[in-house]
Structure 1
Amino acid sequence: MATRFDPFREMDEWLATMRRQVPNAPGMPLDLYREGESYVARVDLPGVDPATIDVDVEDRTLTVRAERRMDVPEDAQWLTHERPTGTFARQLSLGHGLALDRIQAAYADGVLTLTIPVAEEARPRKIEVAHTGNRAEVEQRSEPAA
């Protein structure tokens, strides 16, 4: 039986191993949008055990960590292995005007949803304008009493 020599096979196997360890695409793709008085971030985390998800905020930096484990017997013979495994992390820099103490997180169907409310003092509001009869009355009210 003849075997074919492929000089690139070893290199392909090495690159495939590296891709499994360091994915070329972000391990945690996300969508971020504003909905009413909150920002919503949806982070794709398929196959992640919810117990491994960790969300914290420190110095206006929100960090999400999660782990995807391999559920395959050690003696399995791989035919292809494209799903990245290991611990993934993603950080978001949060601006001022957000209520960091009221961030909520929920995980369902492989998607982590973070709801980040806008702080009360940063919300837009209308200022009522008082209307007086004439300019002289306004000026008289604003002069300091002697």
Structure 2
Amino acid sequence: MARTLNPFQDMDRLFTDLTRSPAAVGMPMDLFREGDTFYAEIDLPGVDPASVDVDVDDRTLTVRAERKTTAGEGERSWLTRERPTGTFARQLTLGSRVALDRIEAEYSDGVLRLTIPMAEDAKPRKISVAHGDSSKVIEA
């Protein structure tokens, strides 16, 4: 079977590996919105739940977690080592439209799920318009 030569594919893979940040390698994240709530799901397999720390300071949300090395580390001759260990941190800059006091975090099955609701005053709302000749109100 003939194989098409694509030298750019290997270069692209190498460039992607080199430019990937340590946080992206150790803490891959999905970020999405459903209605008036934002969700961040961060993969943290093998992380002790007690080491997970989430805090907000001046609209910057920081997640820290530690994946410890396994016992007997010094006795091993590694053939391949792809699972990163150590302390990882990831930061998200939050806009002024989120309710900082209502952010929730849950860690289950190796996934940290952050629930970030939109602030009430940032939600769209209807404004009634009064008509000048009578007390009729027109809903906008």
Q: Determine if the TM-score, normalized by the shorter chain, exceeds 0.5.
A: yes
Q: Kindly report which structure 2 residues correspond to 1:16-35, keeping only aligned pairs within 5 A, or say none.
A: 23=22, 25-35=24-34
What CA RMSD, in Å, does the superposition of the two structures yield over aligned residues?
2.2
**TM-score computed with the length of structure 2 as normaliser:** 0.73
- Aligned position for 2:118: 118
TM-superposed CA distance for 1:25, in Å, is 5.0
Match of 2:101, SS state, is: helix
Q: Kindly report which structure 2 residues correspond to 1:1-146, keeping only aligned pairs within 5 A, or say none.
A: 23=22, 25-73=24-72, 74-131=74-131, 134=133
Give the counterpart letter for 1:91 in structure 2.
Answer: Q
CA distance in 1, matches of 2:23, 2:114: 25
Give the counterpart letter for 1:27 in structure 2.
Answer: G
More strand, by proportion? 2
Tell me, which stretches of 5 or more residues in structure 1 are unaligned? Answer: 1-18, 139-146
Identity %: 64
Which portions of structure 1, spanning 4 or more consecutive aligned residues, are displaced by more than 6 angstroms? none
2:30/2:41 contact within 8 Å kept: yes
Out of 57-66 and 35-44, give the one that drifted further.
Answer: 35-44
- Aligned position for 1:144: none
CA distance in 2, matches of 1:29, 1:116: 18
Tell me, which stretches of 5 or more residues in structure 2 are unaligned? Answer: 1-17, 136-140
CA distance in 2, matches of 1:23, 1:35: 28
Change (3 A) 1:119 1:87: same
Match of 1:26, SS state, is: helix
> What is the aligned residue count?
115
